[in-house]
Amino acid sequence: MPFLQSNHKGNSWNKNKHLETILPALFRKVNVKYTRERVELADGDFIDLDWAGHGNKTVLILFHGLEGSSQSQYIKGFAKYFSEHHFDVCAVNFKSCSGENNRLLTSYHMGQSGDVGLIIEHILQKNKYDKLVLGGFSLGGNVLLKFLGENANQIHHKIKCAFAFSVPVDLASSSHILSKNSNKPYMITFLKSLNKKIIEKSKQFPDQLDILGIEKIKNFSDWDDRYTAKMHGFTNAHDYYSKCNSLQFLPKITTPTLLVNALNDPFLTKACFPIEIAKKHEFLHLETPKKGGHVGFSMNGIHGNYYSEMRAFEFVSSYLK
């Protein structure tokens, strides 16, 4: 019954869920030296991977959240922590997130698990590693959990375990709560970034992308209805959410997996805490600390190591002995 009691109590200097979310994103500084590798794909597109660490026999592959990248503070925090503990780290940049728009009309989204498989296969072909560990955050966590569930019967034996933090496993309800006034600053930030990319992509595909009135879109449901769904073969936003929702894939997972969602995460709803699934699950370990915010989990200040990094390392280490 892997429903776990959490040891994370938050921190004494910050007890506000929004500050727990925002302050690390804005002010945490982590120094990581990456080496970039561009992976050319069979369909003519590419994915950029940023590498930290060198010469270790275990690799950690990290998948960032919506409009994040290998430069996101939480990705760099994990890259630094795990590389210092004898891991090579591969920080994946989803398509259009490495600083350059991808070549095709399609990009990345909440359910683009096929790209996870392509990246894993690419790394396995290097034949450098004895063990692989997978980690995802927010959108990247949803994509990772979906991948683990839908490929449960064919997960490569070198993949030993996985972890995911701050995951909106129920996409529809999470999209709805993010449209609330209390979450308006997040929505404005996300849409500003997404709109900028769509406007640039419309120059590549002027006959396929209509940007007239794009500035009037105020929520994810409308944005996904107009762009994500149509660009990626879904009927509408509802169809996109229902098919890419990782909640439905959790019972199928056969890889030891840690899911940590903070109870005060402003992006998550009650449906994003699959307690009953975890209680009956052999492989899914669910931890729901009271504090942490969304991809926050700081401890003694903005800088330094975070609970998420140490907790993930503790979990991973137990499966690498």
pLDDT score recorded for residue 7: 73
pLDDT at 11 over 80: no
pLDDT score recorded for residue 4: 65
Domain with 21 in it: 3-169+253-318
Q: Model confidence over 255-269: pLDDT tens digits?
A: 999 999 999 999 999
CATH number of the domain where residue 154 is located: 3.40.50.1820
Domain end, chosen from 212, 244, 276, is at 244
My answer on whether 159 and 196 are in the same domain is no
My answer on whether 86 and 204 are in the same domain is no
My answer on whether 128 and 226 are in the same domain is no
My answer on whether 231 and 275 are in the same domain is no
**Closest by alpha carbon to 76, among 317, 321, 318, 306?**
306
My answer on whether 93 and 205 are in the same domain is no
My answer on whether 283 and 144 are in the same domain is yes
My answer on whether 152 and 175 are in the same domain is no
pLDDT score recorded for residue 256: 97
Task: Report how many domains make up the chain.
Answer: 2
pLDDT score recorded for residue 16: 85
d(CA 94, CA 198) in angstroms, rounded, equals: 15
Three-state secondary structure along 13-58? Answer: CECCHHHHHHHHHHHCCCCCCCEEEEEECCCCCEEEEEEECCCCCE
pLDDT score recorded for residue 115: 96
My answer on whether 43 and 161 are in the same domain is yes
Confidence grade of residue 219 (pLDDT, cut at 50, 70, 90) = very high
Q: Model confidence over 272-302: pLDDT tens digits?
A: 999 999 999 999 999 999 999 999 999 888 8
Q: Model confidence over 151-183: pLDDT tens digits?
A: 999 999 999 999 999 999 999 999 999 999 999
